[in-house]
Structure 1
Amino acid sequence: MEASADVVVLTALPVEFRAVLHLLRDQSTLVHPQGTSFVKGTLPGLAGTVAVARIGAGNLTSASIAERVRQWLRPHALLFVGVAGGLKPEAQLGDVVVSTKIYHLHSGKEAPEGFHARPVPGAVSHRLEQTAGIALCSESWRKWVPDEVRATWREGGPRVHFQPIAAGEVVLNSSDAPLRDQIAFHYGDALAIEMESAGVARVADLAEDLRILTLRGISDHADANKGEADASGSQHRASAHAAAALAALACELLPDTAGSGGSSLSVDSTGAMGEASAPEAEWVRALMAFDDMGRGDFRHSLLTDMGRTLGLPRAFMAAESPMARDHVREIVRRMNAYRDPPAARRALYSALEYARPDDGALEGLSRLLP
């Protein structure tokens, strides 16, 4: 049987690799003819497969493996997941950074008057970045973090940032090194620094069929205190947070177990959702009859309550749309595609019954239940 995986995750360090492995079920091993080993598995509650490899540090290695993965496993998405150094005070230890751009630091010209950057294209997938925005817009992604890591949180736990990431060929352990000044001058909006994403981004630039994104947990501040931070277990915690963000993103990319959709990658190239079938249309009309259904925060609260009722480690996921009716229609579709549609319908009704017990629309919705 030909090797394949829906989502491929690359990591550099053993601690990053272990954080992803901790989430996978039904594990098996895939070995490329040239020796690169992947562990392939599934995430609880999701169909589709995730394959993860530990490839070591460096942009040259990551570029080589990314091209190998593109041709061999043909994934819908290639993600680099791991740790990074924070470059600004707002990047606190444990926070997660989702790449909006990738900067390759060591491309430029050294002249008598100083370094002149010659940026190499390093765009991430707009579709993946937008999907991550949906997956990580609420705190439900934190449910994927192991309990022992959550027990270490202070002041509300990790936050998620969507900002550029810089990738170079050296470990930055100084707040006053010339490289730090170069980054501030040429790439002032970069929030984190690491050593692999530029290689993966370059492969994606040269290929039309590879979507990439980087998810990094902040494990140090790229200064002289890096050793002390690492010794405190910061890499383990940051890796767990990045892996949790990966799992939440996968909930948007992969369908529910035994479901038939819900993957944002399965939406057609125009982004159109299409019209609902007659039964779905009845549900949409019944749900839109609730006074607060036009509010995004209200719908997100319902999805969180549905996930809790169904025993999911996250909110019930439904790709958001700028129009409330389109979002509701997608909720109904995901509900009908869930592995136990009646249970999903009851969970939605229970969430509304709790949130709006006096709303007259509740009676209309009850007529649609078995």
Structure 2
Amino acid sequence: MSALHEELAAVLADMPNEQRVKVAGRDFWVGHWQGHAVVAVLSRIGKVAAATTATVMLERFGVGALVFTGVAGGLGPQVRVGDVVVANGLVQHDMDASPLFPRHEVPLYGRAVFDSDAHLSGALATAAQQVLQVPERHLGSATLAQFHLHAPQVHRGLLVSGDRFVSTTAESEALRSALPTALAVEMEGAAVAQVCLDYGVPFAAVRTISDRADDTAHTDFNRFIAQVASRYSHAILSQWLAQRPAPGVRLT
């Protein structure tokens, strides 16, 4: 799953035999990649859209694992533009049912943090580290220089989601104050993690840092996605699938 078309385009280009199935106004692309049965879909932006898409993936297509890829704004002090964050846990930063429940806790779940699947996330982190060891192989030296990317790193930790595009220093500082361990912020992951918990299906999220979610946020967001994030996502997923055990599980 990806929220933006540019993030999914490189994946679809590697699925030459895919079939399009339309459900709930969305195009689900069913095919094979690296010898594995795969379903790829554009979730659209925001938590509700992502939750709807995830539910269809699980109910209609019966996927055995679900991976969300895309971009995020960096929050952790060590997280730089061009780095990759693999979530260990996800929180809805705009969830606040206080005083009935603690801030960020999802009512009736007894938790604020929804864990990603440890094995799946670990395999994706390994694939990301392998890809980022030689980033110019996937991006080219000119692109690395253009976006001032130097020695990109893989981070693992907390990813926070909310229905707000965070792009000011005041907003990012408020998030760091409320959730000091958060590495990055985006708009879909925690909702999908909650759906996957409901269904007992492994979930992982891999996000490329496009900006620092502050007043210096990337001015050419779409170009960064097309030239950097989509290529990272494609390379990481391809590497992960190539190393995955024998086929038998449908994936996203």
TM-score (norm 2): 0.82
**What residue identity is the alignment partner of 2:160?**
A
Deviation of residue 157 (structure 1)? 4.6
1:128 paired to 2:116 = no
Q: Which has the higher contact order (CA 8 A, sep 6+)?
A: 2
Which residue is 1:78 aligned to?
A: 66
Which residue is 2:20 aligned to?
A: 29
**What residue identity is the alignment partner of 2:41?**
A
Larger radius of gyration: 1
Which residue is 1:201 aligned to?
A: 193
Structure 1 residues 122, 30: closer, same or farther in 2, change over 3 A?
Answer: same
TM-score (norm 1): 0.58
Q: 2:40 aligns with which of 52, 56, 63?
A: 52
Map 1:182-331 → 2, pairs under 5 A: 182-208=174-200, 210-230=201-221, 233-236=223-226, 237-253=228-244, 255=246
Query: Is the Cα–Cα contact under 8 Å of residues 160 and 182 in structure 2 kept in the other structure?
Result: yes
Deviation of residue 95 (structure 1)? 1.5
Structure 1 residues 212, 200: closer, same or farther in 2, change over 3 A?
Answer: same
Q: Which ranges of structure 1 fall in alignment gaps of 5 or more residues?
A: 1-9, 256-260, 266-370
Count of residue pairs brought into register by the alignment: 238
Distance in 2, Cα, partners of 1:234 & 1:137: 20
CA RMSD of aligned residues (A): 2.8
Which residue is 2:164 aligned to?
A: 170
SS for the counterpart of 1:81 is: strand
Distance in 1, Cα, partners of 2:134 & 2:16: 19
Distance in 2, Cα, partners of 1:166 & 1:103: 5
Q: What percent of counterpart residues are identical? A: 24
**Structure 1 or 2: more strand by fraction:** 2
Q: 1:100 aligns with which of 78, 88, 97?
A: 88
Q: Which ranges of structure 2 fall in alignment gaps of 5 or more residues?
A: 106-110
Which residue is 1:39 aligned to?
A: 29
Query: Is the Cα–Cα contact under 8 Å of residues 219 and 229 in structure 1 kept in the other structure?
Result: no
Query: Deviations 1:264-315 (Å, cap 9, x if unpaired)?
Result: x8xxxxxxxxxxxxxxxxxxxxxxxxxxxxxxxxxxxxxxxxxxxxxxxxxx
Distance in 2, Cα, partners of 1:254 & 1:35: 33
Query: Is the Cα–Cα contact under 8 Å of residues 16 and 82 in structure 1 kept in the other structure?
Result: yes
Query: Is the Cα–Cα contact under 8 Å of residues 37 and 53 in structure 1 kept in the other structure?
Result: yes
Deviation of residue 14 (structure 1)? 1.6
SS for the counterpart of 2:170 is: coil
Query: Is the Cα–Cα contact under 8 Å of residues 85 and 207 in structure 2 kept in the other structure?
Result: yes
Query: Is the Cα–Cα contact under 8 Å of residues 99 and 213 in structure 1 kept in the other structure?
Result: yes
